[in-house]
Amino acid sequence: MTTSVKEMLDTYPADLGGVDREAMAQCIQECIACAQACTACADACLSERMVEELTKCIRTNMDCADICNTTASVLSRHTGYDANISRAVLQACATACKACAEECGSHADMHDHCRVCAEACRSCEQACNALLAELG
């Protein structure tokens, strides 16, 4: 399935420096999906009766969403590309996703939204690590 992310990468007029466009597109898509899941999970946590028990989860969700959105934005810009910046945001994103997956995972048996979010975080972490391996 072609996505606008892949389509935009395919239309980029300059070379991407040998970066695998499929891995780049996958990572951007996973970051966007994870940011949405984390935002929705934080909101769902706020609707739970025992919201005070989910404070750390909400904070972790919000941090992860912000980092995923930033990572998707940085990876979507290629003019004047700096591999060091890309590596740094990818590492930060993988770290945030791992922390969020662990936090949401600890609530997954009680809250389906946390289960879904943890899955999105794990998928994004894997995509970030795969792209990091590509960048060397």
CATH architecture assignment, domain 19-135? Up-down Bundle (1.20)
> Looking at residue 1, what is its pLDDT?
45
User: What are the phi and psi torsion angles at 35 (to 5°)?
Assistant: -60, -40
Q: Any idea where the domains of the chain sit in the sequence?
A: 19-135
What does each of the 136 residues of the chain score in pLDDT, given as a tens digit? 457 888 888 888 777 777 888 899 999 999 999 999 999 999 999 999 999 999 999 999 999 999 999 999 999 987 777 889 999 999 999 999 999 999 999 999 999 999 999 999 999 999 999 999 988 7
> Looking at residue 19, what is its pLDDT?
80
Query: Between the CA of residue 70 and those of 87, 92, 110, 133, what are the distances in Å?
Result: 13, 10, 30, 20
> Looking at residue 2, what is its pLDDT?
52
Global confidence as pTM: 0.93
Region of residue 19 (left: phi > 0; alpha: psi -120 to 50; beta: else): beta
